[in-house]
Structure 1
Amino acid sequence: MSHYLNELKLLNLESLPREVFVRQQYMPARHYFPAHKHRWHQLLYAVSGVLIVDVIGERLFIPPGNAVWLPCGCRHSVSTEYGAELKSLYIDSRYQQLPADKSLVLQISPIIKALIIEVSTFDVEYSISGYEEDVVSLMLSTLPRLKLVTDHLPWPTSSELLKMCSQLYEQPGGKQTTLMLAEGLAISKRTLERKFHRETGMTIQAWNLRLRFLKAIELLTAGHSITNISLDLGYSSPSPFIYMFRNISGMSPGEYISSRQYRP
């Protein structure tokens, strides 16, 4: 079997040639994989750039050093605004050391990074005895030890709120108040607040703040300046933006970028 299996062949396979297959690719800016699902588990790892993974009820931002666990049958779409290099681990559906019923965002540790890189050099039909199998087994037994990342962006399910959030996502620097958003939906402010919290578990204000923070990470990773990011996100100057970023992450935007240089 060719080392470079294409996506069509992978999607049509009934099972993987081995317990793990590593697929590597670069997604150009504004590239989009439409919603799909696999017959196996997938660990999607951003080596560089930021991936946006949509699953039911959540939009997951995957910056460098993080990965998303997508269990067998989980319907998802993947996109990137500024381009991203990624590695996908396709794992046999019989693997049970991570949940089979929900997606997770995990922080890639140095040892997992090294193991993924090593496994990516193996032939598709690697030996099921000896060194290759030992490395694969170590990698799979280490995955459950990865740190869980919880700063997701919950996504509403109703069509009207989904459309509203999509517009907020496209214009994160907008100045719309909750009252203005409610008027756009022809409902009361109180009704909007109650419905939004029921569908996302967050207030609109808290959701918007998390959106701006995650968009900031995306723009920082793409190399945008702090001044430009501040203006793009609706801040009058860098100072309030830096305050927001530090308040949420515990570090300044500059410190965040420096810290990523030493992570996988």
Structure 2
Amino acid sequence: MEKNKLALLEMESLPREVFVRQQYMPAQHFFPAHTHNWHQLLYATSGVLTVDVVNERLFISPEKAVWLPKGCEHSVSTAFGAELKSLYINANYQQLDTTKSSVLEITTLVKSLVIEASHFETNYSKTGYEQQVIALILSSLPRLKQDKTHLPWPTSSALYHLCTQLYNHPEARHSTAVLAKEINVSKRTLERRFLKETGMSLQAWSLRLRFLKAIELLNTNQNITRIALELGYSSPSPFIYMFRAQSGFSPRQYLAACKKQNPFTKSN
């Protein structure tokens, strides 16, 4: 069965209007940049996925999904491993934006429907129960709320590499002046160019990076003290303050809400 599912990636069209593909991505796994001839809704039932699209890095935790319209180039990776599900949808589907990707807040209903559809045969019946489930999935997708906490990525080579360095070392605390010196520009020039390319100040970008990294680490069941230290905080208190300011929840409240919304997550 898995071979048949994998072969779908090489097909020019889908055998049915919707097909669900599921698999486990081990830690440090990476799918290089590619496109599909159909739309894709991708989410993880456990773990966190990092999805790179044009000028954006998207963190997909279990309460979120990413919508990738036909032809949208994307790469997918996971730092700590993830159980993922891909909902492939015929390109004729027009109820979500078909011009750009977006992050959606996935609901328990949609998760349950996708899990149910994942047990269907590749050539499931176009009438009866299977088609009713598929129709309900498609009619539910436009009702999902959009999430705006993506991480914009600059386009110029110097700023791209600077952001890559910050992404790989979220614990580092460098002033804007020090970072500007690393790429041989003035502090003011760095601030102006960064805002122009990302729509955010460097300080706001760095804060969002640490917040999104925190979500990734929280989904590994590491304790809060260890996560705080990994992100460069001297103690849990300033880390908790940052997380609450960004999300409206404490880290523990966030995890409790995730478990409530994702009853299929396995406890360790």
Sort the TM-score into its range (normalised by shorter chain).
over 0.9
> Residue 4 of structure 2: SS of its match in structure 1?
coil
**Counterpart of 2:221 in structure 1: which amino acid?**
G
Post-superposition offset of 1:152:
0.7
Unaligned 5+ runs, structure 2: 263-268
CA contact (8 A) 1:41 1:71 kept: yes
1:239 alignment counterpart:
237
Q: Is the 8 A contact 2:18 2:87 kept in 1?
A: yes
**How many residue pairs align between the two structures?**
262
Structure 2 counterpart SS, 1:261: helix
Please give the secondary structure, in 1, of the residue aligned with 2:65: strand
Sort the Cα spacing of 1:116 and 1:6 in 2 relative to 1 into closer, same or farther, 3 A: closer
**Of 173, 180, 183, which residue of structure 1 is paired with 2:181?**
183
Give the equivalent residue in structure 2 for 1:5: 4
- The normalised TM-score by structure 1 is 0.97
Q: CA deviation at 1:159?
A: 1.0
Secondary structure, aligned partner of 1:179: helix
Partner in structure 1 of residue 266 of structure 2: none
Q: Matched residue of 1:262: which SS?
A: helix
2:227 to 203, 226, 229: 229
- Give yes or no for contact 2:5–2:21 (8 Å, CA) kept in 1: no
Alignment match of 2:27 (pick from 1, 26, 29) = 29
**Equivalent residue number for residue 130 of structure 1:** 128
Name the SS of the counterpart of 2:110 in structure 1.
helix
Cα drift, residue 117 of structure 1: 1.1
Q: Which residue of 1 aligns with 2:265?
A: none
In structure 1, how many angstroms separate the alpha carbons of the residues matched to 2:134 and 2:91?
15
Q: Distance in 1 between matches of 2:251 and 2:141?
A: 29
Per-residue deviation at 1:253? 0.8
Shift of 1:225: 1.2
Kept in 2, the 8 Å contact 1:3–1:124? The answer is no
Aligned-residue identity in percent:
61
Aligned mates of 1:83, 1:3 — CA distance in 2: 19
1:162 deviates by 0.6
Which position in structure 1 is the counterpart of 2:249? Answer: 251
Matched-pair contact (CA < 8 Å) for 2:105–2:146? yes
CA displacement, residues 104-158 of structure 1 (integer Å, 9 cap, x when unaligned): 1111112111111111111110111111111101110110000111111111111
The RMSD of aligned alpha carbons is 1.0
Structure 1 stretch displaced more, 29-38 or 132-141: 132-141
Which of residues 93, 96, 99 in structure 1 aligns to 2:97? 99
Which ranges in structure 1 are unaligned for 5 or more consecutive residues? none
Once superposed, which parts of structure 1, at least 4 consecutive aligned residues long, lie more than 3 Å away?
Answer: none
Residue 261 of structure 2 aligns to a residue whose secondary structure is coil
Of 148, 151, 167, the match for 2:149? 151
Per-residue CA deviations over 1:8-56 (Å, capped at 9, x if unaligned) read: x223211000001100000000000000010000000110000000000
**Other structure's SS at 1:248 match:** helix
**Alignment partners' CA distance in 2, 1:159 and 1:46:** 31
- Checking the alignment, whether the CA contact within 8 Å between 1:38 and 1:74 is kept in structure 2 is yes
Whether the 8 Å CA contact 2:40–2:68 is kept in 1: the answer is yes
Distance in structure 2 (CA, Å) of the matches to 1:170 and 1:3: 34
**CA contact under 8 A between 1:53 and 1:78: conserved in structure 2?**
yes
- Secondary structure of the 1:5 match is helix
Shift of 1:255: 1.4
How big is the shift at 1:4?
A: 4.4
Partner residue, 2:106: 108
Q: Provide Cα deviations, 1:52-109, integer angstroms capped at 9, x if missing partner.
A: 0000010000001211000000000000000000000010011100111000111111
**C-alpha separation in 2, matches of 1:140 and 1:146:** 11
The amino acid across from 1:260 in the alignment is: C
Whether 1:211 and 2:244 are equivalent positions in the alignment is no
Secondary structure, in 3 states, of the residue corresponding to 2:138? helix
Does structure 1 retain, via aligned residues, the 8 Å contact 2:33–2:75?
yes
* CA distance in structure 2 between the partners assigned to 1:3 and 1:137 by the alignment: 24
1:6, CA displacement in angstroms? 4.4
